[in-house]
C-alpha cells in the first residue's frame, strides 16, 4: 500500500508541475504591460480553463497522498523499532576487550649521537 501511494504521489507531482508550467500567466497580454488590463474576479480568461481544473485536481490528490504517506510512514515506522527488535545470536551486547597499546616513539626523542645545528 505504501509503495502504491508513493508511485501515485510521484505521478501527481509530475502532472501538477506540467499543468502549472503549461499555463499562461494572468497578465500575459500586451495591454497588461501598460496598465490597461481589466482584472475580474476570475481573471481575464474567464472562470477556468481545462489546465486550471487539472491543476486544482492534481493539488487535491497531492494533498491527500501527502497526508496518507505521513500516516502510512508513521504506521510502518512504529511497527519496526530498534528497541523492540530481539537480539540475534551473533549480535550479543558485549563490551569490547581493551587491547594494550604501546606509546608511539618519536624519532627526535632517541639520542643517536647526531645533533643538528
Q: What is the pLDDT of residues 9-48, one digit of tens each?
A: 999 999 999 988 888 776 555 555 565 555 554 555 556 6
- The domain in which residue 70 lies consists of 1-23+49-76
Evaluate whether 37 touches 44 at the Cβ level (below 8 Å): yes
Say how many domains are in the chain. 1
Angle of helix 2-22 versus helix 50-79 axis, rounded to 10:
150
In a domain, 60, yes or no: yes
Summarised one tens digit per residue, pLDDT across range 89-111 is 665 555 566 666 776 666 665 55
* Residue at 28 is within a domain: no
Amino acid at each position: 500500500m505504501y509503495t502504491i501511494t508513493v508511485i501515485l504521489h510521484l505521478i501527481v507531482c509530475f502532472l501538477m508541475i506540467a499543468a502549472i508550467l503549461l499555463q499562461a500567466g494572468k497578465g500575459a497580454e500586451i495591454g497588461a504591460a501598460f496598465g490597461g488590463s481589466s482584472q475580474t474576479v476570475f481573471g481575464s480568461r474567464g472562470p477556468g480553463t481545462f489546465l486550471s481544473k487539472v491543476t486544482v485536481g492534481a493539488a487535491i490528490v497531492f494533498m491527500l497522498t501527502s497526508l496518507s504517506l505521513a500516516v502510512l510512514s508513521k504506521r510502518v515506522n512504529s511497527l519496526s523499532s530498534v528497541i523492540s527488535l530481539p537480539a540475534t545470536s551473533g549480535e550479543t551486547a558485549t563490551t569490547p576487550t581493551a587491547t594494550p597499546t604501546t606509546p608511539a616513539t618519536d624519532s627526535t626523542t632517541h639520542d643517536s649521537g647526531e645533533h643538528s645545528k
